Amino acid sequence: MQWSRQLGLVLATGLGFGVIASLLVEWGNPPNMGFCIACFLRDITGSLGLHDKVHYLRPEPVGLVLGAFIAAFAFGEFRSRGGSSPLVRFLLGVFIMIGALVFLGCPVRALLRLAGGDLNGLTALAGIICGVLVGIYLLKRGFNLGRATRTFTISGWIMPVLMVGVILLAIFIPWFIDQENRAAHAAPAVSLLAGIGVGFLAQRTRLCFVGGWRDLFLIRDVHLFAGIAAFFVAALICNLALGHVTWGFVGQPIAHDDHLWNFLSMALVGLGATLLGGCPLRQLILSGEGDADAGVTVLGLIVGAAFAHNFFLASSPGGVSDWGPVAVIAGFAFVFAVGFLMREDV
């Protein structure tokens, strides 16, 4: 009975999240980018002056952290914890973001791109799955980032408080929201409420767009995968109803069709997220419920976005940059070094 209720909740969360992501495009977010953690953190990074590309203080990631904080606090699950290889987690976050920006999307957007008719999402999903399978191999060989321990309460409060600070910047210094080179966006209040709602439900269900594949292959558990599938189905149906679907590989919005690097970059994302224990969405949720290590990972994602744009690593609709593939290869070298050396028997 309890398992059925949990499955029903994760299905409802996936369905609701998919509908929200599709509607956010209808309400003003970029096409096939109703909800993309990598892209939105990239925009926030630009709004803070850490690169000179897209500048917009996206409310959705802020809402995710605050929604998770509200849920964790309300249900007695807020726990300040940390100390599980924070520097390694930071660098994994950096390389995951670089991989995501070579593809132009996180695991959430890979599904949204596919739900909008962008068949490059298939290549990305294949990369994620391969990355997850390699990550499972490393986990079975004893990979471990170490145990997190309870720590000072203030450590767990830092990310939620920072996100409140971001809201205050948006309210009292409008430049962070309304500035040049900003991305298309829905109304800030709508985006914030959408983020809070998704963050609340994602905290309750542990929804993860990499963890679902990991559990499916590692322990044959369909719980999280059901949420991923429900998300895709809901987004596809909603997009079809709204007329937002155009099938094909070429000419898709904010995308390129370099299949090799779409595959490899998202394989890096899938592998890194498997070793971290969660995708970028899950890291934001964990940071909202007191996990300081996840907070460090989120900071790594932000720094990765700055590196990707300042050093010409990110792709564009015109294709993959010259240095993006080099960064992806460097990311694989780092992740494999970590995966083989951080084992319980080493």
Q: Could you report the per-residue pLDDT of 209-219, keeping only the tens digit for each?
A: 999 999 999 99
Q: Which residue has the higher pLDDT, 51 or 173?
A: 51
Residue 346 domain-assigned (yes or no): no
Instruction: Confirm whether 305 is domain-assigned.
Output: yes
Number of domains forming the structure of the chain: 1
**Helices 280-288, 59-74: inter-axial angle, 10-degree rounding:** 50
Residue type, 99: G
Helix (H, G, I), strand (E, B) or coil at 335: helix
Domain that holds residue 104: 2-341
In contact, 269 and 103? CB cutoff 8 Å? yes
Q: What is the mean pLDDT of the chain?
A: 94
Whether 238 is in a domain gets the answer: yes
Flag whether pLDDT at 9 surpasses 60.
yes
Measured from the Cβ of residue 122, the count of other Cβ atoms closer than 10 Å reads 16
| Per-residue confidence (pLDDT) for residue 180, from 0 to 100 | 62
CA 28 – CA 3 distance, rounded (Å): 38
For 165, 201, 278, 285, the CA distances from 15, given in Å and listed in that order, are 31, 11, 20, 18
For the cut 60, the answer to whether the pLDDT of residue 346 exceeds it is: no
Question: Above 70 in pLDDT, residue 202?
Answer: yes
Amino acid at 174: P
Residues 302-321: tens digit of each pLDDT: 999 999 999 999 999 999 99
pLDDT at 1: 63
- For residue 214, being part of any structural domain is answered with yes
Instruction: For residue 143, list its beta bridge partners.
Output: 343
Per-residue model confidence (pLDDT) at position 92? 98
**CA dihedral for 78, 81, 86, 92, sign (positive or negative):** negative
Tell whether 245 is covered by a domain: yes
First to last CA, the chain: 42
Q: Name which residue leads in pLDDT, 124 or 58.
A: 124
Which pLDDT score is estimated for 178?
63
pLDDT in tens, 249-300: 999 999 999 999 999 999 999 999 999 999 999 999 999 999 999 999 999 9
pLDDT tens string 133-187: 999 999 999 999 999 999 999 999 999 999 999 888 888 877 666 656 567 888 9
Angle at 202 between CA 217 and CA 124, to 5 degrees: 45
Q: Residue type at 255?
A: A
Does 248 map to a domain?
yes
What are the strands, taking DSSP E only, across the chain? 81-82, 149-150
Burial 64-89 (b: 16+ CB within 10 A, else e): bbbbbbbbbeeeeebebbbebbbebb
**What 3-state DSSP class applies to 291?**
strand
E-state strands within 107-182 = 149-150
Rounded Cα distance, 198 and 234, in Å: 14
Computed over its alpha carbons, how large is the radius of gyration of the chain? 18
* Under 8 Å between Cβ of 322 and 116: no
* Token pair recorded at residue 332: 């694989």
State what percent of residues in the chain have pLDDT above 70: 97
pTM (two decimals) = 0.96
Cβ atoms 66, 166 nearer than 8 A? no
User: 305: closest CA among 280, 337, 322?
Assistant: 280
Measure the CA–CA gap between 17 and 224, rounded to whole angstroms.
14
- The secondary structure element, H or E, covering residue 79 is none
